[in-house]
Every structure is written in C-alpha cells, then in structure tokens.
A = this chain, B = another copy of it.
Amino acid sequence: MPSASASRKSQEKPREIMDAAEDYAKERYGISSMIQSQEKPDRVLVRVRDLTIQKADEVVWVRARVHTSRAKGKQCFLVLRQQQFNVQALVAVGDHASKQMVKFAANINKESIVDVEGVVRKVNQKIGSCTQQDVELHVQKLDDAVRPEAEGEEEGRATVNQDTRLDNRVIDLRTSTSQAVFRLQSGICHLFRETLINKGFVEIQTPKIISAASEGGANVFTVSYFKNNAYLAQSPQLYKQMCICADFEKVFSIGPVFRAEDSNTHRHLTEFVGLDIEMAFNYHYHEVMEEIADTMVQIFKGLQERFQTEIQTVNKQFPCEPFKFLEPTLRLEYCEALAMLREAGVEMGDEDDLSTPNEKLLGHLVKEKYDTDFYILDKYPLAVRPFYTMPDPRNPKQSNSYDMFMRGEEILSGAQRIHDPQLLTERALHHGIDLEKIKAYIDSFRFGAPPHAGGGIGLERVTMLFLGLHNVRQTSMFPRDPKRLTP
C-alpha cells in the first residue's frame, strides 16, 4: 500500500502484519491514511449495485462498508454494503492473499469503510443473503479506509427498541429500510413540486419566526428575539394567503411547521415538514380541491413507477398491501360518511367531529366499499372548523372544507378561506377570538383578495401511510417530540 507506510494510524496495525518477513502479500492490504485531499488518483470506484454478471471477470475497485465478516480456515467472507445494496466478497489464501491478509480481513470492524480491489466472479448458486445474488468479489487488495472507533450494528431486521434506534440514529439510518424510506421521502417532495410547477404554481418561502401567535396562541413555541418575544409559525397559512392577495394565484411551499402540543402519539411531532398549497379559483373551491387531489395521485403514481425498489425494500421488513387509489379521487360528503358509520353502529351527532378510531373505521368501510386507500371527505360541519373557513352558501351548518385520508388517517386539511374582511371579522367574533390578535391577518384582505382555497399536508404522515408504517418517527430523520430533542 503506498499510503500505509505514511499512515498516521500505522501504529495501530496488528502485530502479525508488522512481521513482514514471511508475508508475500504485505503490499496488498493495510490501513490507509486519512483522506485529506492529497491526491487526485485516476482510480474509478464501481457502485455495488452495478456488480452484476455483465461485469464478470473484470477487475474493479469498490468502496463500501463491512456489513459482516466470517472467517473459516483459509478463507474470509465479507459482506460489503453500500446504501441498500450489498455483495459478498471472498479473501482466500492463494496468489493474491496470504494467511496474514485473511486474518487482517477477518479482524476488520463491522461498519468500517474499506477500499477493495477484486475480480467479479459469477457464482453457481445464487447468494440469497445479498442484493447482488449472481456474483461475488474475489479480493486482491484490501484497504481499511475509515475505521469506526465504536463498532456499530447494522440492525437489519432485528427487533430493536425504537428509542435505541433513535438515540443512535446515524447507524439506524444506514439500514436498508431507512435508506429506502428516506429516498422515497425525497421522491415525495420531488413529485409534489414537479406536479405543481407543471400546473403553473410558484414556490414561496415563508418566515418561520413571526410576531404574533395566530389562532389565539395555543400550542405555540416562544422565541427570544433580541429584546422581545416572537413565535414559531404553526403553519405558513397566513403567508400563503398573503401571496394570494399579492396576486401570485397559485403557490406552494415546503418547510418546517412547529406545534408546541404535548401529544405523545404515533402520529404527532412537535416539528414536522408541511407541504402547503394555496390557490385562487374562478368560481368554486372544488377547482382547488381537485388540483390537490390530482397532485396526490401524481405523487402515488410517481412513487409506484420510480420507487419500486425502495417500496420492496421496506416491505421486506414491514409487509404491507400496495397502496390503492382511484382516478379521479373518490369524494364523499361528511353526511355520507356519517351514514356509513351509523350503519356500522357508531353513534354520532351531525355536527360532531370524527374521532381517530372513527376515522380508522371509516377508512376500512371506504376500502371495503370502494377499494381505495385514498379519498376526500368534503363539507365538514362548520362548527368543527377554524373561524376562517368559508360557510357553505346552501347549508349554514356545513362549510366549504375538506380533509383527505390515506389508509384511514388524515393527511391533509383544507378549505375555501373567507376572503371578505367583514365576514372574517364576524366569524372570528363568533369563535370568541380576540380581534386585536388577528388584526394583521384580517387587514391583509382589505386591499382586495380573490376567492381562494388550499390545504396543508404532513410529509412524514404521507411517507408513513404510503408505506404502511406505524410510527411517524420512522419517517422523520431526526424526530422531535415533547420528550426528544436529540440527536
């Protein structure tokens, strides 16, 4: 190894390797020096996913983590992992490897990053434990490039307590399940934006530090802002509506949303990522509702087309039925949902909100009857919606508002907003809201606002429910809840 002699870590070499006299392979393995951008070698590193029979008998260099190692007599088998992909590597005493080199390989810590030169060889029997089943790598050179100080565990499918996983998130994120979950989540964001930009939407950036708590100030985090107090935005709603008042017509944003809610459930976080949409419409809020539903459908289709590998990887650990949806999206009115629930024995008043168990039950009933995991519930009772929700012009107990559900759980809440400052004031008073506290909000409609509607989607919930996972902490890289603020 050119670099091994200069290594700042060379003193760590096992004693046996130092005894170089009888080791004919001593130039072929060792611990490489820290990469400090000293050189720009020509060496090409091949991706593990590209190690297929097309590459049989080629000599390649690969950089990957040591997933497992198993020595047996004159051989050492390594499984080399790169993100969701892994391949078997063999170090065997022979022309290229000495007894000492096999021992060196067997002693490499799991989770070390190694640089390996080897010949790709077709195997006679498929290697069931690896993603690259048709080949293995016959190692000729082996560098331990980055050694972990602590030995990490790639937990695979073992049952590990969720808090332990989250405490050691860097290692937990290396598992193929996590790699797949967060690649798919990146895909959701990409598909959301791609669809909306094609529909003529403009992406906006809204402030997270705000001067007044909207909606009365419950569940809001306080920030020290120089000599004053400020708050963390519970949603970009006011700002996206201001963009509508400012004639942007169709806007979306992706950003953090903060809720100081002391809820310790499988689906609540204190900080999550909101995918928000707001849009001016011509005559009816269904124009907007249908655009949002179509955006969700484009996301589902895109995920099933472009992320099958990721879906299957997650399904191996968390088996789940493929996500089903209809085109166009099923729309039920609230009163229809009530009728279905009552037929199933639930007792509910016309203006009662849905409890979480009833939402779940409704999801099952809808799935049975319509064979879809995604639907819109339209025309919620006015009484259970925020003050800025437009009342239904035909039925004063209903509103122009809707939720959307995936596998029986709410992922989006939306509505036509009141764009008339006079009616907005009336409704705020009806809700007993202090007008002083929402003055800026109401004032932004005084310069002429077009009719508009919108909605907010929780990214982590969409990821969780699309994949059929059971806890939103599995789909937040570094989750925040009332009890967790690290890592």
Q: Out of B173, B189, B207, B447, which one reaches A150, CB within 8 Å? A: B447
B224 lies within 8 A of A221 (CB): yes
Contact between chains at A146 and B485 (CB < 8 Å): no
- Are A38's CB and B393's CB within 8 A? yes
Q: Which listed segment binds B: A15-23, A95-103, A246-254, A324-332?
A: A246-254
- By DSSP majority rule, is chain A's interface helix, strand, loop, or mixed? loop
The answer to whether A448 and B37 touch across the interface, beta carbons within 8 angstroms, is no
Partner of A448, one of B113, B239, B248: B113
Interface assignment of A140: CB less than 8 Å from any CB of chain B:
no
Of the stretches A52-60, A256-264, A341-349, the one at the interface is A256-264
**Contact count band on A:** 35 or more
Q: Does A469 contact B (CB under 8 A)?
A: no
B-contact bits for A388-402, CB 8 A (1 contact / 0 none): 001111100000100
CB-defined interface of A246-282 with B at 8 Å, one 1/0 digit per residue?
1111000011101010100000001101000000011
A426-450 residues with Cβ-Cβ distance < 8 A to B are 440, 444, 446-450
Q: How far is the CB of A453 from chain B (nearest CB, A)?
A: 8
A262 pairs with B37, CB closer than 8 A: no
* Contact A246-B170, Cβ < 8 Å, known A239-B478, A282-B45, A416-B37: yes
A65 & B247 in contact (Cβ 8 Å cutoff): yes
Query: Please, could you name 14 A-B residue pairs with CB atoms under 8 Å apart, sorted by A?
Result: A36-B416, A37-B451, A148-B447, A148-B448, A169-B242, A169-B246, A170-B245, A173-B247, A190-B197, A190-B203, A205-B477, A209-B480, A211-B485, A440-B487
Complex Cα spacing A486 to B444, Å: 12
CB of A149 within 8 A of CB of B239, answer no
Of B37, B423, B448, the residue contacting A285 (CB under 8 A) is B37
Question: What B residues does A147 contact at CB under 8 A?
Answer: 448
> Would you list which residues of chain A between 459 and 487 have a CB under 8 Å from chain B?
459, 476-478, 480, 482, 485-487
Measured CA separation A185–B447 after assembly (Å): 25
B444 and A179 within 8 A (CB): no
Instruction: Tell me which residues across on chain B come within 8 A of A237, comparing CB atoms.
Output: none
Q: Flag if A186 contacts B208 (CB, 8 Å).
A: no
B246-A174 in contact (CB<8A) = yes
Which of A120-128, A225-233, A294-302 touches B?
Answer: A225-233
Q: How far apart are A40's CB and chain B's nearest CB, in angstroms?
A: 5
With A and B bound together, what is the CA distance between A160 and B404 in angstroms? 44
For A149, the closest partner residue in chain B by CB is B446
User: From A452, which residue of chain B is reached at the shortest CB distance?
Assistant: B35
How distant is the Cα of A376 from the Cα of B323 in the complex, in angstroms? 47
Residue in B145, B150, B221, B243 whose beta carbon sits within 8 Å of that of A223 in the complex:
B221
Assess the B270–A209 pair: CB atoms within 8 A.
yes
User: In the bound complex, how far is the Cα of B393 from the Cα of A40, in angstroms?
Assistant: 13
Cβ A446 vs Cβ B480 within 8 A: no
Check A199 for interface membership: any CB of B closer than 8 A.
no
Which one of B174, B239, B485 contacts A247 once the chains associate, using CB atoms below 8 Å?
B174
> Is residue A367 contacting chain B, with contact meaning CB distance below 8 A?
no
Question: How long is the Cα–Cα vector from A480 to B207 in the complex, in angstroms?
Answer: 8
Docked pose: A485 CA to B269 CA in angstroms: 26
Q: State A35–B36 Cα separation when bound (angstroms).
A: 64
- Distance between A155 CB and nearest chain B CB, rounded to angstroms: 13
Report the separation of the CA atoms of residues A202 and B310 in the bound assembly, to the nearest whole angstrom: 13
- Contact status of A179 and B485, CB under 8 A, knowing A37-B416, A221-B223, A446-B148: no
A459–B255 alpha-carbon span in the complex (Å) = 15
- Is A307 among interface residues, defined by CB-CB distance under 8 A? no
On chain B, the residues within 8 Å of A112 by CB distance are: 448
B202 and A485 contacting across the interface, CB-CB below 8 Å = no
Q: Is A34 an interface residue (CB 8 A)?
A: yes
Given contacts A36-B392, A223-B224, 18 further A-B contacts (CB under 8 A): A34-B423, A37-B283, A37-B400, A38-B284, A38-B394, A41-B283, A83-B247, A146-B449, A146-B450, A148-B448, A149-B421, A170-B245, A185-B205, A190-B203, A205-B256, A207-B256, A225-B270, A226-B260
Complex CA gap A308/B308 in Å reads: 39
A282 to B40, CA, bound (A): 9
Q: Which of A37, A38, A203, A440 has the most CB of B within 10 A?
A: A37
Which B-chain residue is minimally distant from A220 (CB atoms)? B224
Contact between B485 and A209 (Cβ–Cβ < 8 Å)? yes
